[in-house]
Amino acid sequence: MKERKYGCINNKKGVAGESILMIYRLLLISFIALVILGLAAVFYDYSINVRWAEAQILGKKVVNCLAPEGVLDLDKIPVSGEKKILDYCGISNSGRFFVQVDIMDNNMKSVKTLYDGDSGSLWVKRVYDQGKVNDNLKKYEAGYFSQIYDISTLKDKNKIGIKVNLKVLVNYED
Amino acid sequence: MKFKTKKASFSSEKQVCFLQPLLQKKAMMLREIIIHLILIGLIFIMFFMATAGRVSKNEVRQQVIEKQIALMIDAAEPGTTISMRKIGDNGFINDISAEAGSIHVVINDFISIKGYPYFTKSSVSVRDDVTKFYIDVR
């Protein structure tokens, strides 16, 4: 049989077109599958909030650091430590925490304030407390702990009673 | 009057040339359909596996254990050892690791991606034996 080089029409352009259509169809199916997977991920998402417990634990660690055995020595805290109180206590702050320690005399007048973190977190907490937050955002609410402690401080080697108002905020973990 | 008619003769060469496009086209279509079905099947298998992982309870179990361990580490005094049974009510714990300030727990072969962070200033290490994991806070 005589072989013909171009005997029968071989539709090469048609085959290339089919390949492009196939890629398009695969991309479309992948997109639909991803959308359904995303919806399933949102619907079945379940988050357990333990930030309030973390805030309590962190608060107690800070107080034990600042006032071991209930005595606070302000002279031991360097000036750099007043704004980085967690660093002073050896606790790493990845940006999730805000700690504020108000040292007050017995008349509740503030003597000194030590803090670490972004104080804007307190403002966000107030917005949540006012109930102005959508249900979908409630799972991001920060854990909060606040307590006033009666401790002592040293002045001229004498113990004087003071109050420490501690506020701890633990933000949502990324 | 005689009309000379040319007999139509189909030689084998012409027959092959006539039928070949049809046969080739059918084979090509079938091949493409099979490839399409295989690829679509693969995509849906991956999609169902990912969804099944999401819907299963292992993610919740993993969250519970990671957060429990992180809170215990945060509250623990230096010199404390926390032990966790490998086989428990939540299933089989394949691995517990403390990396970059986070606790990761692999439970029922469900891998931990995010983990849960802890903030203790003590160093944390994990070891295990046949039945338990031991988390040392030093």
For B70-97, letters b (16+ CB in 10 Å) and e give bbbbbbbeeeeebebebeeebbebeebe
Q: Per the structure, how many domains does chain A have?
A: 1
pLDDT digits (tens, 9 = 90+) for A111-133: 889 999 988 888 888 888 888 77
Closest Cα in chain A, distance from residue B121 (Å)? 5
* B33 touches A at CB < 8 Å: no
Domain-embedded: residue A19: no
ipTM above 0.85, yes or no: no
Range of A84's domain?
A: 51-170
- Among B28, B70, B119, select the one facing A91 at the smallest CB separation: B119
| Maximum pairwise Cα distance, chain A | 118
Residues whose CB is less than 8 angstroms from the CB of residue A169 and which lie 6 or more positions away in sequence, other chains included:
A55, A97, A98, A99, A117, A121, A122, A125, A142, A143, A144
* A116 touches B at CB < 8 Å: no
* A89 touches B at CB < 8 Å: yes
pTM: 0.71
Q: Read off the DSSP letter of residue A117.
A: S
The dihedral through the CA atoms of B70, B98, A140, A41 has a sign that is: negative
pLDDT tens per residue, chain B (138 residues)?
Answer: 555 555 555 455 555 555 556 667 778 778 878 888 888 888 888 877 777 766 678 888 999 999 999 999 999 999 999 999 999 887 899 999 998 899 999 998 888 888 999 998 889 999 999 999 999 999
- Domain ranges across chain B: 11-55, 58-137
Cα end-to-end distance, chain A, whole Å: 73
Count of pairs with CB atoms under 8 A, one residue in A, one in B: 80
Closest Cα in chain A, distance from residue B3 (Å)? 32
Query: Would you place residue A94 in the very low, low, confident or very high pLDDT band (cuts 50, 70, 90)?
Result: confident
